[in-house]
A = this chain, B = another copy of it.
């Protein structure tokens, strides 16, 4: 089997005005949809981050992808990672490729192409993708409710998809403002009623730590102690703040996600606060793991196959977590069903997935796969039985989402800029 064609379609998906320490989500989030077409007529799907940097790197990778056997992933990984150039086995590259074409994001690009190749392999083999990763360990994968402080509105823009969608969702948590503890509880109750999530994650670092602790305690009050709670200030709390407010949340939080920035700071908080610390920020690559373990910075890794170099590498990360007794869960950015299915297959194959996965999925109303939005049941997604990922592209939806991209004018994520549009002079701040 050989890859004949690689289609990359930049898309923009309507995204509500969600807040984080970084600022405000723009009306659209960018994603890149990848289709790999083989000489035997199969189409493998993947999605990854959007924006010009990613699109540029995908073009740099194209000469290696066209003509490759989708099974030969290790060779592609080594070839994309210029550090390993010249080692045995990289001899089949187009002449001078590595010297000319160093990628900015080799791990992310490899991960994006790997998922599409594994979709192809699964289809070719007649095996669901999880069965290429060591095999299905669970039949459904639990996700958590991802709660955001937000402004009123669904995102999108006048005349774009957003407006018609917003009309449908006018009284919905998707549209309503949530900038206080009470509004957040309403958001959580509604999201859980709709999707059945059994655990709650609050994106923090937005309001004052006092208000965010108040929100967590209000969620505890509303949902009771059987519902695990998490908060994620995205590294924008100071060590002092994290210790002070972390201690108030001992016995309340399931885990404390990136309260502070950097391994040394995380290690300090870990020693002072009796809650496991989780990260998708202070350790996001294999070379960082040894120092992360040495500093005791983290007790739980929030993996992300987009960031960690694909699904096989995420399975390897899971083995490292098991070996060093780290907990494991999954991080999420705004995404379509393609990534949700990839996450689901991965989670299905990992025995030591110790926490429900994050997902932004409930915040999106558009979908790029046939059949529309995937549905959670009891907060979980069923692992597909079909070969590969188990999804096909809806080409009409893809065209619309690409049209969104062309019209919205956004080429890279800039949450600070968006925030300044509604609050001039707004700046990133450490609480």
Contact = CB atoms under 8 A, between A and B. Distances in A.
A132 B350 CA distance: 17
A323 B134 CA distance: 21
Which size class do A's interface residues fall under?
Answer: 35 or more
Given A73-B134, A124-B126, A125-B124, A286 B351 contact: no
B71 A131 contact: yes
Nearest to A319: B316
A84 B351 contact: yes
A319 B74 contact: no
Contact of A286 (B124, B125, B322): B322
With a 10 A CB-CB cut-off, give which of A74, A121, A290 has the most chain B CB atoms.
Answer: A74
A312 B316 CA distance: 9
Interface in A55-104: 69, 71-78, 84, 87-89
Contacts of A315: 312, 316
A290 to B, nearest CB: 6
Q: How many copies does the complex hold?
A: 2
Contacts of A78: 137, 351
A320 B350 CA distance: 17
A136 B72 contact: yes
Nearest to A68: B135
Contact of A75 (B121, B137, B316): B137
A430 to B, nearest CB: 31
Interface of A: 69, 71-78, 84, 87-89, 121, 124-127, 131-132, 134-138, 286-287, 289-290, 293, 312-313, 315-316, 319-320, 322-324, 349-351
18 contacts: A71-B136, A73-B134, A74-B137, A74-B351, A75-B136, A76-B135, A77-B351, A78-B351, A84-B351, A89-B351, A121-B125, A124-B127, A134-B312, A286-B319, A289-B323, A316-B316, A316-B319, A319-B319
Given A74-B135, A289-B323, A320-B323, 5 more contacts: A75-B136, A89-B137, A124-B125, A316-B316, A316-B320
